[in-house]
């Protein structure tokens, strides 16, 4: 948020000016006592501190007493002003903001298996909300300060920066990320962001938004694994809802993060998974986990729908299954474990 000129000037001198004022009073008192009472520098400094803190001072001449009165008025005023201003700086965000920034920096250095959301507009905020509901870690990169602040208020890690810059992507842990979602303002920005991310992480899963068909092709050439057109998906959703409302309701129910009774999930078969090289019937998934295998995506991204019971499960396959969330979680864990 822009800072007014007067406010910026006040903050610049805020903690420096009162401290300098207090030091000036102490120096002035020390010099004054040394000249008036003929004291040593240490004794003059000692009595000055006693006077400012309103502690009893030793006997002195009439001139020293007059000077002490003046010093007490100036010293107490400067002391109260100094501590009041310093307390204001701390309470209004100086110290808490610094501590918050340090905490966020530590979290950025340690976060792993997360998504990087580039852009926090209407689509980016919806993506973040879905990740938040499913407890998926993510980091928001956005150039607009107000949007970054909104993301922080909603509990996200946020960085105010240009997502297409490699140093920014490195800062948000692209080398440890699970994937990247490019949904910044324009197609050109998305292309640059996808290209930068693909150069830094050749095997990173990247999703991007596209406004036009031409941008879709450019984003794919830049390295996006998936390119989503909100207008195309929105139109298809409207058409499907008009023609097959029950089917749409079922899919929404199965993919909703709020549903605790039914969920659709993809389960990756690890290289040494106990289900690798077994048929669906031999893996006994229905009886052991109570799930239904809807489809299998092979390692070459070829999708096999409604597979037969004797269909073989291979390493690297992704099973599209339907079942209870807790059952899917157990299946996902078992599918990632190595054979004993």
Give ranges for CATH 3.40.50.720 in the chain: 111-233
Give ranges for CATH 1.10.287.70 in the chain: 5-91
Tally of CB atoms within 10 A around 38 = 10
Q: At CA 131, angle to CA 128 and CA 136, rounded to 5?
A: 130
User: What is the fold, at CATH topology level, of the domain defined by 5-91?
Assistant: Helix Hairpins (1.10.287)
Which residue's entry shows tokens 């420096």? 16
User: What is the fold, at CATH topology level, of the domain defined by 244-336?
Assistant: Alpha-Beta Plaits (3.30.70)
The predicted model gives 186-212 an average pLDDT of 93
Q: Specify the pTM.
A: 0.63
Q: How far apart are CA 285 and CA 303, in angstroms?
A: 19
Given this model, what pLDDT does residue 33 score? 79
CATH number of the domain at 111-233, please? 3.40.50.720
For 280-306, the pLDDT digits (tens) are 999 988 889 989 899 999 888 889 888
Give ranges for CATH 3.30.70.1450 in the chain: 244-336
The predicted model gives 232-249 an average pLDDT of 87
pLDDT at 203 over 80: yes
Q: Higher pLDDT residue, 97 or 195? A: 195
The predicted model gives 210-219 an average pLDDT of 90
Q: Higher pLDDT residue, 167 or 58? A: 167
Identify the CA nearest to 140 among candidates 153, 164, 156: 156
Average pLDDT over the chain reads 82
pLDDT at 310 over 80: yes
For 215-232, the pLDDT digits (tens) are 999 999 999 999 999 888
Q: How far apart are CA 210 and CA 182, in angstroms?
A: 9
Q: What percent of the chain has pLDDT over 70?
A: 81
Q: Which range scores top for mean pLDDT: 23-32, 64-73, 123-132?
A: 123-132
For 144-194, the pLDDT digits (tens) are 999 998 998 888 888 999 999 999 999 999 999 999 999 998 999 999 999
Given this model, what pLDDT does residue 10 score? 40
For 77-109, the pLDDT digits (tens) are 677 777 777 777 666 655 556 666 777 778 888
Which residue's entry shows tokens 């007490």? 72
Task: Output the six-digit token pair for 300.
Answer: 């070459």
Q: Which residues contact 38 (CB under 8 A, 6 or more apart)?
A: none
Q: What count of Cα atoms within 13 Å lies in the side-chain half-sphere of residue 16?
A: 5
């Amino acid at each position: 948020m822009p800072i007014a000129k007067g406010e910026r000037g006040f903050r610049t001198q805020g903690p420096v000016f009162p401290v300098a004022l207090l030091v000036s009073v102490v120096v002035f008192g020390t010099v004054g006592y040394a000249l008036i009472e003929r004291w040593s520098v240490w004794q003059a400094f000692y009595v000055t501190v006693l006077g400012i803190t309103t502690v009893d001072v030793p006997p002195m001449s009439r001139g020293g007493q007059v000077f002490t009165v003046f010093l007490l008025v100036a010293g107490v005023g400067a002391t109260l002003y100094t501590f009041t201003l310093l307390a204001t700086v701390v309470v209004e965000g100086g110290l808490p903001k610094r501590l918050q920034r340090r905490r966020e920096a530590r979290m950025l250095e340690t976060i792993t298996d997360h998504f990087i959301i580039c852009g926090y507009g209407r689509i980016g905020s919806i993506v973040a909300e879905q990740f938040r509901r499913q407890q998926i870690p993510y980091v928001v990169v956005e150039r607009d300060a107000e949007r970054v602040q909104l993301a922080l208020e909603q509990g996200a890690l946020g960085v105010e920066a240009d997502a297409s810059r490699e140093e920014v992507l490195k800062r948000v842990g692209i080398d440890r990320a699970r994937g990247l979602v490019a949904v910044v303002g324009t197609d050109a920005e998305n292309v640059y962001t996808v290209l930068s991310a693909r150069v830094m992480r050749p095997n990173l899963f990247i999703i991007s938004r596209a406004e036009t068909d031409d941008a879709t092709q450019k984003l794919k050439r830049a390295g996006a694994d998936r390119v989503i057109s909100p207008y195309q998906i929105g139109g298809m959703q409207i058409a499907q809802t008009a023609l097959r409302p029950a089917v749409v309701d079922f899919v929404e129910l199965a993919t909703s993060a709020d549903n605790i009774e039914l969920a659709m999930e993809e389960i990756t078969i690890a290289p040494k998974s106990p289900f690798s090289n077994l048929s669906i019937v031999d893996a006994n998934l229905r009886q052991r986990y109570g799930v239904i295998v809807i489809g299998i995506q092979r390692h070459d991204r070829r999708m096999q729908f409604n597979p037969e019971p004797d269909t073989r499960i291979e390493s690297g396959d992704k099973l599209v299954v339907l079942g209870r969330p807790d059952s899917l979680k157990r299946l996902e864990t078992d599918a990632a474990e190595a054979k004993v």
